[in-house]
Amino acid sequence: MSNILRLSTAQKDFEARLDEILCREADTGADVQGVVANILAEVKARGDAALCEFTQRFDGWQCAPDTLEIPHARLEQAWHGVCQQDRDALELATKRIRAYHERQQQKSWEYTDDEGLTLGQRITPVDRAGLYVPGGKAAYPTSVLMNAVPAHVAGVENIVMVVPTPEGEVNELVLAAAFISGVHRAFAIGGAQAVAALAYGTGSVPAVDKIVGPGNKFVAAAKRQVFGTCGIDMIAGPSEIVVVSDNGNPAWLAADFLSQAEHDEAAQSIFISTNAALIDAVDKAIEKHLKTLPRMGIARASAEMHGALIHVRDLAEAADVINHIAPEHLELTMDDPDVLLPYIKHAGAIFLGHFVAEALGDYIAGPNHVLPTNRTARFSSPLGVYDFTKRSSIIRADKAALEIVGPAAIHLAHREGLQAHALSLELRLQDEES
């Protein structure tokens, strides 16, 4: 058996122990906030000079303002340089992601009410979006697709990508993904300094209207601090998964459990079952898989520090535990997942059935894999086309319509002590000659 925490809803202190493991690494520490605040201030004040200094310090390569940008021709070169199987997979993923996100497009609308006012909503894209693509412990070309494709579908005309390049090394698949997904400009920068450059702009990097995409705790803290100067999608933390099954294949379930654990030591994997024997079998299978994984050290640390195997008495308890966790990824690996699905209120992405591993959603299914973490699925949603658009309200009225609703507005304005508000309406209701 492994050293993964065992919990049961029958335990008197179950909720307290569950909450304890749900409190993982976050970006709220004073040390992180202070470091990030300094980086943001330096880049805002000194632009490219500070950006290059931080890139050399944190990514280990000496750059100059004219070497920060990755030319578009270099993206195209990478596309043609990767193997045909790489291109085929990226093209299929791009096609499927686009098809899914095209269904998210919203239309502008108007209607005229009984009083004669015409009201509506206008949907417009942001002018410029900044995409943060992780590039530390692993490279994620699919993160490029998941960020860039919905931005394109939304109609964003300027898509700017930043990606860390440790020791100056770029990942060819990431660059190829940037090319096929239509990134307009790309920069070899990462960390809080890249967020600062996107938020404030430098001589080389244009300021954007919204920053999207996941990163480490320094990136998360930076996004939190620049919010207001520009928009952000969410504060993304370490990855997480909850796998639920009462009769699944232990080897499959264990692999699903480890699929997020291998991301990062701070990632979290939880298995929930009504079947105590299955929990034992999954535990053994996890230990067996760990011995073969190249990222065994990371996966084991994640599983033993943040993971849990939870026994519940019935599916109703399973639903309660799931909704409390509000996981980023939720697998209902069951013969009939629709029995449980109606009771799930909080989850970023839900995978139904025995053959839908979370990895299918990561790469090729179509829905976005940039998802709310750290229980934020209680109030947040996956990245989508709507993250790259804005809504403007529309109001049209002639004097006849104003005569019907205007007096009530005038009354409310006077009640709030805002006489100029009232006057602006009163004058319009007077005869034009007066």
What residues act catalytically?
328-329
Q: Do the Cβ atoms of 56 and 338 come closer than 8 Å? A: no
CA 6, distance to chain mean position in Å, is 30
* 48: Cα within 13 Å, side-chain hemisphere: 15
Distance CA 274, CA 82 (A): 46
Q: Do the Cβ atoms of 167 and 61 come closer than 8 Å? A: yes
> How do 329-332 and 69-70 pair as beta strands?
unpaired
Distance CA 170, CA 72 (A): 14
* 173: Cα within 13 Å, side-chain hemisphere: 18
Residue 306: other Cβ atoms inside 10 A: 25
DSSP string, 187-210: ES--HHHHHHHHHH--SSSPP-SE
DSSP string, 118-164: EEEEEEEE-SEEEEE---SSS--HHHHHHHHHHHHHHT-SEEEEE--
Distance CA 184, CA 164 (A): 17
Q: Do the Cβ atoms of 291 and 298 come closer than 8 Å? A: no
Q: Do the Cβ atoms of 285 and 249 come closer than 8 Å? A: no
Structure tokens at 320: 């309660």
Give buried/exposed letters for 332-347 (b at 16+ CB in 10 A, else e).
Answer: bbbeebeebeeebebb
Residue 433: other Cβ atoms inside 10 A: 4
